[in-house]
A and B are shown apart, each in its own frame.
Chain A
Amino acid sequence: MPIVWAGEVTPKMKASAFAYARATSVANALELLTAHGEKAKVLSGGQSLLPAMNLRLIAPELIIDIGELAELRGVVVKGGVLTIGALTRHVDLLKSPEIAAHAPLLRDALTHVAHPAIRNRGTIGGSLAQADPASELPACMLTLGATIVVRGPSGERRIAANQFFAGIYETALTPQELLVAVELPVTPKNSTHFFHEFARRHGDYAIVGLAAQALVKDGQFADLRLGFFAVGDRPLLAKSAGKLVDVVITSAVLSEAFSALDDELDPLEDQQATPAMRRHLAKVLLARCVSSLLARPDLCTGALA
């Protein structure tokens, strides 16, 4: 991203001026958003928002700090549903026995989210509302069939994860709405998962990544959900997973899935990789995922030739 000098002594690596309001309750945050939503940004952990502001990619007139709203923090398991408050930090999720037991895919993914100092501040709600297409958590939400809970002037809305992400940094949230929680169905005990991403450095945004959840029965997939990220302008729940369910997986079947996956991808070009490289890496991840979940090392070799 370019640094603009604009004739100043120092480069523009500082946020432009803004007004600041510390929300005292969710109701107060919603009042502020109702009055100023179009010109405001909500600050939770700030680990995505503040870099964007320091780089002058965005310049909100008002920052609404929800960091002290303890009511938005925590993990609760009830009736087969895992509810995660929007302000729950990555580090809290990593240490949560509930997440380890009921959403192990999310735990694995979180070890790849940035670095310890950033995981100490970054929150799940912030990551989802930011909707960076190269970030891990949005894809996990698709894979795990999450529901995003938001509140606005007219009450609460519950949005399926596959309806929530609308493009680069774009979501179904309106400027007056606040993301308050995420609900995940408790992962079945006999379910398995796979998470991997390619990045230049551990913890950096992915070049391509895959968050997968599966039910394996008698050496075949009874169910397979593949959430890819950094393969387009938003995370992708690949329909091509269907090609791999209830069949004996052979190299030929895998090749068909590769070609179906290729049709679904719309990778972007950036400093890190070309679209062609991203398409290739997505296939590599799919091969590794299938091979790992079915304990079939044979599928990882040759299939990509």
Chain B
Amino acid sequence: MTAAVAISLSVNGERVEANVLPRLNLADFLREHLKLTGTHVGCEHGVCGACTVRVNGDIVRSCLMLAVQTHNATVETIEGLSDSGEIADLQSAFRERNALQCGFCTPGMLMAAHDLLKQSPSLDREQIREHLSGNYCRCTGYQAIVDAIETTARARSGRLP
């Protein structure tokens, strides 16, 4: 049973069929097998948030999910969200506010931030901080990230910055 397992899933709208070893996690599957390297691998035990992706509409840690667990699932990565334009306004706010420096945490930050923005367009800084509490950034000190998300929240709910 240690042999590879056949899985079939949707990744960014495309059907993917693969044979994967049970030990392979989703982050490595996306990066190594599908070459979707926007999903970053940081701590590999669920602490840093850099590997955050969407599975069946929910954000999850792709380092804490096995590829075999995504059989029949719908997976969306930062490449999918970026290409579809779904987060274009958020990405633009990140650029304008200097909410990224090295960029390592940025895909995970965008995933987590967009998830929050979808749940509730009117946000205060405390709610933003709490929702991003599982995403580490070692460059920015977070202020600019919270600024960018707050700006996007205001714009999406039709309020002026």
Contacts and interface: CB of A to CB of B under 8 A. Distances in A.
Nearest to A202: B133
Interface string B18-33: 0001110100100000
A14 interface: yes
Interface in B52-86: 52, 58-61, 63-66, 68-69, 71
Interface in A73-123: 91, 114-118, 120-121
A65 B61 contact: no
Given A46-B66, A120-B59, A114 B134 contact: yes
Contacts of B95: none
The CB with the most chain B CB atoms within 10 A, among A14, A18, A62, A116, is that of A116
B74 to A, nearest CB: 14
A182 interface: no
Contacts of A116: 59, 112, 115-116, 131, 134
Nearest to B44: A13
A55 B47 CA distance: 12
A145 interface: no
Size class of the A contact interface (CB-based, 8 Å): 20 to 34
B21 A17 contact: yes
Contact of B61 (A13, A14, A121): A121
B134 A65 contact: no
Contact of A115 (B25, B45, B63, B133): B133
A120 B63 CA distance: 14
A57 to B, nearest CB: 10
Contact of B64 (A20, A51, A203): A51
B58 A50 contact: no
Interface in A5-52: 13-22, 43, 46-47, 50-51
A50 B112 contact: no
A91 B115 CA distance: 14
Contact of A91 (B25, B58, B63, B135): B58
Interface in B80-111: 111
A8 B153 CA distance: 46
A254 interface: no
B65 A14 contact: no
A189 interface: no
B115 A118 contact: no
Instruction: Using C-beta atoms within 8 Å of the partner chain, give the interface range for chain B.
Output: 35 or more
Contacts of A15: 23, 25
Contact of B46 (A17, A51, A63): A51
B38 interface: no
Interface string B108-149: 000110011000000000000111011100000000000000
A20 B22 contact: yes
Nearest to A111: B130
A43 B22 CA distance: 12
A54 interface: yes
A14 B69 contact: no
A14 B131 contact: no
Interface string A186-215: 000000000000000111000000000000
A47 B46 contact: yes
Given A20-B66, A50-B46, A50-B65, 13 more contacts: A18-B22, A46-B64, A46-B69, A50-B25, A51-B64, A114-B46, A115-B135, A116-B134, A117-B59, A117-B115, A121-B58, A202-B133, A203-B133
19 contacts: A13-B43, A13-B45, A17-B21, A18-B23, A19-B1, A20-B5, A22-B68, A50-B45, A54-B45, A65-B66, A91-B58, A116-B131, A117-B134, A118-B61, A120-B59, A120-B60, A121-B58, A121-B60, A202-B133
Interface of B: 1-2, 5, 21-23, 25, 28, 43-46, 49, 52, 58-61, 63-66, 68-69, 71, 111-112, 115-116, 129-131, 133-135
Closest 4 CB pairs of A and B: A115-B134, A19-B1, A20-B22, A51-B45
